[in-house]
Amino acid sequence: MDGQDRMERIVSLAKRRGFIFPSSEIYGGINGFWDYGPLGVELKRNIKDAWWHDTVRCPPPGPDGKPIEMVGLDCSIIMNPKVWEASGHLAGFTDPRIDCKQCKARFREDQLLRPFLKVLTSLPESGQMFDAMNLVTSDPPQTIPVLVDQPNREELQSVVRQFLNSKRAKVIERPQAPPVMGSAFFVVDGQKVFFLGLDLAGTVQAGELCPLCRGELTEARDFSLMLATNIGAMQDSASTAYLRPETAQGIFANYRNVLDTSRLKIPFGIAQIGKAFRNEINPRNYTFRSREFEQMEIEFFCHPSDADTWYEYWRDSRFQWYVQHGLKSDKLRLRNHEEDELAHYAASCADIEYEFPFGTSELEGIANRTDFDLKQHQEASDRDLTYFDDETKERYIPHVIEPSGGVDRAALAFLCEAYDEDEAPDDKGVMRKRTVLRFHPRFAPIKVAVFPLVRKDGMPEKARAIYARVRASLASFYDEKGAVGRRYRRQDEAGTPFCITVDGQTLEDRTVTVRDRDSLAQERIAADEVLDYVRGRL
RNA sequence: GCGGGCGUAGCUCAGUGGUAGAGCGCAACGUUGCCAACGUUGAUGUCGUGGGUUCAAGUCCCAUCGCCCGCUCCA
């Protein structure tokens, strides 16, 4: 079963069992939006509740072994647009773009471009990274005319492919801010560096020809990754507001309020779970890249000199959180960003990545954002966002460590990790395929299902009584229809860890069986102890 | 955003111009004492949507929306 096949089975199961539906499906759906069904909403809620408990209410002890201070927050999705000016999102999200109608290259209106291929003869050692922007803007290295004067897109790509296939090249992934689409660069044998890309050589305007292929260009078009809306009845530019593209800025905007009302001392963290929106160009990979998604974020404020310690603390403890909840396979990875792929606001950054069936992608990023955000907001708002330490009499802007995870991505990862097919015997002892979701019990949408073995001899009555008791404190499900084996299998597909069955013996000695989802083993316990038993194993 | 593929029942899919189907699933009843049992019965489709061609369109054409793959992008 390859990745695509596995993913299709997971998507199919998720739809069939009510985990995830396409949004507004009866109208043909809408690209980049998804709904969570009855089982999906329980899964997601369990993830969020676990996160909230494990980071806000009862976080792990700090690096010094002492308890750490955390509080929660729930900000509005729409904020004063000045927030996004200060954070840099507005500028970064709204560069007008010009597309080439022929070769489909995309340019920024006010920048750019001439294709080139450069060979640097005295450069870094094999594997060493370097800054693409510096390469472009520093003294022009030797340029060799490997390509024709006006290479088209296919030619550019084919040259890149040749290098990649030659295995002489080490590709540096995710170069920082390549000037435009289509650029790539790599190191060859520690001897020469090739940079293939587009030069910053003037501007392109609508009406001109494409510098790549001499094709026709489109008009400049706004290309915003923030979803906009209008406040009030009048729709003009003054009424434009944005759906937040991340929850973090709401925390920074409230940093002063929280500090003034909570008697917190540095270091402390503010956590928030909430929806965020990005107008992704190309939503893909099921729910992984959606236009509407939910984040669970912490902004942890600390003294600048402690930032590295807290960064490592959060990076490692967040990684462990995923491990503890079932992503313990080798599919989970911690990837530290190299210096040249760091965002402008981050001093260091690590991604917690998971190997989904469609590829390895980020679940959560942990960044040392330094004092960038608070400084930006202090300047833009003209409010004092410094912190005064009464003990040391020191005044400073705290540095911020940000663990920022995607709830939907976590849900998808746990779903993918949980999906399994194994074999179990049918009533005649023949091995049959079984589909089972091996969720961590904490995340299982249904914790316990209660069945009568058959629908007679008063078993349903006993079973319903037990169900009434357990549902008061655990997500539970009652089923008496059809054969018990079928009911077990249905719960396997939902990921229910425990099935309680009332049988003939129950009527004699008030015991029931507890069937384990993963081992299929059954244990007989007193009916009155069912609740404690299940709780003890969650 | 570009290119390719695909949209038919809840799921997986068959159906190349002439009465919309199969398997599984789902529901009801009966049977059934531990892992997708059996029997009987039943429900579910504007064939993604809109337009066109045709006596006749699930089928051919156009557009559009959605999904998948590749490219691109991911501040």
Compute the Cα dihedral for A103, A106, A111, A112 and give only its sign: negative
Q: How far is the CA of A192 from the C1' of B11 (A)?
A: 55
| CB of A82 lies under 7 Å from some atom of strand B | no
In this predicted structure, the answer to whether residue A405 has a pLDDT above a threshold of 60 is yes
A515 beta carbon to strand B: under 7 Å: yes
Q: What is the dihedral of CA A261, A264, A267, A269, to 10 degrees?
A: -50
The DSSP letter of residue A237 is: G
Q: Assign residue A207 a region (left: φ > 0; alpha: ψ between -120 and 50; beta: otherwise).
A: left
Nearest nucleotide to A226 (CA to C1') is B75
pLDDT of residue A281: 74
Q: Between the CA of A525 and the C1' of B30, what is the distance in angstroms? A: 32
Answer positive or negative: Cα dihedral of A282, A420, A494, A410: negative
Calculate mean pLDDT across residues A236-260. 90
Two tokens at A121?
A: 């003869």
Distance in angstroms: CA A527, C1' B67: 48
The identity of residue A135, as a single letter, is: L
User: What torsion do the CA atoms of A527, A528, A534, A535 make, to the nearest 10 degrees?
Assistant: 170
A152 sits within 7 Å of strand B by its CB = no
- Report residue A158 as tokens: 């084919």
State yes or no: pLDDT of A108 exceeds 70: no
Percentage of residues in chain A with pLDDT exceeding 90?
A: 52
Is the minimum distance from the CB of A168 to strand B below 7 Å? no
Dihedral sign computed on CA atoms, order A124, A127, A128, A134: positive
User: What does the pLDDT average to over A87-98?
Assistant: 66
- Residue A183 has a pLDDT of 37
How far in angstroms lies nucleotide B57's C1' from the CA of residue A29?
25
Is the predicted pLDDT of residue A146 greater than 80, yes or no? no
Protein chain A, residues 295-314, with a C-beta closer than 7 Å to any atom of nucleic acid strand B: none
Q: Which nucleotide in the DNA or RNA is closest to residue A33, CA to C1'?
A: B66
Please enumerate in sequence order all residues whose Cβ is within 8 A of that of A17, keeping only pairs 6 or more positions apart, or say none.
Answer: A37, A39, A493, A494
Q: How far is the CA of A181 from the C1' of B73 (A)?
A: 8
**Distance from CA(A16) to C1'(B44), angstroms, rounded:** 15
pLDDT digits (tens, 9 = 90+) for A339-365: 766 777 778 899 999 989 888 889 999
Nucleotide nearest to A30 (CA to C1'): B66
pLDDT-derived band of residue A512, with 50, 70 and 90 as boundaries? very high
Scan residues 58-77 of chain A and list those with Cβ within 7 Å of strand B: none
Using left for φ > 0, alpha for ψ between -120 and 50, and beta otherwise, residue A250 falls in: alpha
Nucleic strand B near CB of residue A104 (< 7 Å): yes
ipTM of the complex: 0.88
Q: Which of residues 112-131 of A touch strand B (CB under 7 A)?
A: none
A37 CB neighbours strand B below 7 A:
no
Element (H, E) at A87: helix A82-87
Strand B lies under 7 A from the Cβ of residue A238: no
Q: How far apart are CA A221 and CA A218, in angstroms?
A: 8
Q: What is the C-alpha separation between A287 and A47, in angstroms, rounded?
A: 16
State the DSSP code for A409.
H
DSSP 8-state code for residue A243? B
- Per-residue pLDDT tens over the stretch A20-29: 998 888 877 8
**pLDDT category of residue A208 using cuts at 50, 70 and 90:** low
CA nearest A87: which of A258, A223, A244, A227?
A244
Give tens-digit pLDDT for A300-345.
999 999 999 999 999 999 999 999 999 977 889 898 887 766 777 7
Q: In the prediction, which pLDDT does A79 show?
A: 94
**pLDDT value of residue A177:** 29
Q: Which long-range contacts (CB under 8 A, 24 or more apart) does A417-426 make?
A: A417/A326, A417/A327, A417/A329, A417/A331, A417/A354, A418/A326, A418/A495, A419/A6, A419/A9, A419/A10, A419/A13, A424/A489, A424/A520, A426/A485
- pLDDT classification of A98: cutoffs 50, 70, 90: low
Handedness of CA A170, A174, A180, A181 (dihedral sign): positive
Distance A277 CA to B47 C1' (A): 35
What pLDDT score was predicted for residue A93? 54
The pLDDT value recorded for residue A496 is 96
CB of A11 lies under 7 Å from some atom of strand B: yes
Query: To which H or E segment does residue A397 belong?
Result: none
Q: Closest CA to B27 C1' — which residue?
A: A481
Question: Residue at minimal CA–C1' distance from B24?
Answer: A16
Q: How many CB atoms lie within 10 A of CB A57?
A: 11
**pLDDT tens-digit profile of A160-195?**
444 434 333 333 322 332 333 333 343 333 333 344
**CA-based angle A503:A484:A521, to the nearest 5?**
75
Within 7 Å of a protein beta carbon, the nucleotides of strand B are 1-2, 7, 10-12, 25-28, 30-38, 48-49, 65-75
Nucleic strand B contact set for A 416-435 (CB, < 7 Å): 424-427, 432-435
What's the pLDDT band for A3 if we cut at 50, 70, 90?
confident
- Single-letter amino acid, residue A267: P
- Reported confidence tier of residue A218, pLDDT bands at 50, 70, 90: low
Higher-confidence residue: A285 or A172?
A285
The 10s digit of each residue's pLDDT in A408-431 is 999 999 999 999 988 887 777 777
> In a 3-state reduction of DSSP, which class is residue A67?
coil
Distance from residue A291 (CA) to nucleotide B73 (C1'), in Å?
14
A32 CA vs B43 C1’ separation (Å)? 33
Residues 435-454 of chain A within 7 A of strand B, judged by CB, are 435, 453-454
CA of A532 to C1' of B37 (A): 34
Looking at the C1' of nucleotide B36, which residue has the nearest alpha carbon? Answer: A486
